[in-house]
Structure 1
Amino acid sequence: MASWIAAAALFAVGFQGADAQYADVTCFSNYTWANNNMGQTPCVVASYLQAPCHPNGANITALTNSSYEYTPPQVVTQCECNTVLYSLVSACGGCQGAEWVTWQYWITNCSGNTYNEEYPRPLPSQTEVPAWAYLGLTNGTWDPVAAQQDLSAPESSASAVPSSTAISTPSTSASTTSTPTPKSSNVGAIVGGVVGGVVGLAILSILIFLFLRRRSRSTGSDTTSGKMMHPDHAPMSQSYPHDFNVSQAYGQPDQTKLYNPDDPTTFPRSPEPSVVYTASTLPVSPTRPGHFTGAPEL
């Protein structure tokens, strides 16, 4: 309890005149990364941010023991109930080798009026706020590791202030979550695509039906004409045996040789006894009155 009272007394808001704001703190050399571009320690920057809410001035005194920590201020204003000042004061304790309190404990006296990742007053022209002071908290407390990873971000000054974040109520964690934006569906495009697909399918079905119908008609016509053909109407080449020799049937000499009285092979020959002639195997000529229609005799 004694250490808590001592720590609370060290974080004091004085009323010593406007020129009395200061931070009588010496930080370790391994914490120079926490200084702003003007070379001011986080303790000095924190004292400047307290000043707009305390016209008579404000100051932050050094911790006399590493077991001490800066506790919530007793005079509570908007200048104290925000994560920007809380992060700077926490870094002020860290640069002295001390610990720091949680955000939930820091806002004990804020009555629910807190500001997350935002400093609700105009920034004083005498200082610049490092970008890491505007970061969200990690597990409800200031995170020096995340702060060192954000050193390249631009600092905030009276002429360049980052966009404000909505006011939040006390919580154990200041991390924010993004709400996904619902995607709007184009109902007209979907309906048009469905209708177009149905029409295209119908047209394709009609074309296939017409093609099959035409093909069926063509095949039926060929089959019908084949059935109506009479056997006697077959082509002349199909009415005779393949080995039928007309010159032999009529006893004519072979036309490949000229007639020679000295060559018996050119003499006319009688039909072979084995050949049987029928009416169907002989050429049919039209019958005319007074003409002989039988086979010639030799």
Structure 2
Amino acid sequence: MLNLAAPLVLSLLPYHVVAQSSVKATCGTGYSWTFNSLNQSPCDVGAALAGVCIGGDFTLSPLDPGYVYLGPDASNANSCRCSSVYYSLLAACSVCQTRNFIKWSRYKSNCTTVYSQIFLQPIPNGIAVPHYAYLDVEADDSFNITVAQAAGGPESTRLPTSTSTSSHTTATPGTKSSSGKTNVGAIAGGVVGGVVGLALIVGLIFWLLRRRAKTPSAPSSSYDPVMASQNPASLGGTSYTSSPAPKVYDPNDPATFPSGFSSPNHTGYNPYTPSPELQQQHQPMYINQMVPSHTGTTAASFPPVRPQYSGAPEL
């Protein structure tokens, strides 16, 4: 392995001259562990990642004995070349050429932002980044060949959903716009329907109120029921006068006397002068009652008479 401290080699190796060579670096035999599953060398994979940030092809030239790959200068320190993933691929490309590589701290010295164990840009189509390129280089400040050679793990490729995600993002505004139009139409239809329904309800209420106002009201129940009934004289039938209830006989009240008799004080007639039979039939049956006599000046006394049944003559 070459001595990295040789100042003459480092001072005579401008990175851009090596990178712009038209001849591609190739790996020697015995370094198959540095190749990916697509049989791509670390030199080819590293060149593909470097070309992402410049928007074109990038070529890693082969290293002559005593030469190394340097880090970026301030003018080309981008996210691709300031990534530890790209540094590990450059180191593996140097190893497979039996050449040396510089430490990580020296490589990143001109990088404003360092991307450790990550490659920020999308991986080009048809390229697979081996798993060892994502190993930590901060702890040893260098690419560890032993750990990288033993490392397995999955490779990193371009995500197959990147294109579909982009197309989905493009289609999303159209979908939202269509949804927005649908929502506006639905809202407008609902508002119009609500206004029409409200107008129908108001019209129905107005019609019912006017109809009720034109309909004559029924007689109020507060009137006297007699006022609401018809006059009996207007019925055309025969009217009858109700008879008063009979009164209890009172000798002092002529109105209670039987029909055909006048007041006891009437002169010229004495109800007690008829024959004894009439006297017994028509005389009121009162005990110890004094009946005035109109034939003399003194009142006649009569023996007490028991109450008799006046319905039928006794046999």
Calculate the TM-score normalised by the size of structure 1: 0.47
Which structure's relative contact order is higher, taking Cα pairs within 8 Å and 6+ residues apart?
A: 1
TM-score, length basis structure 2: 0.45
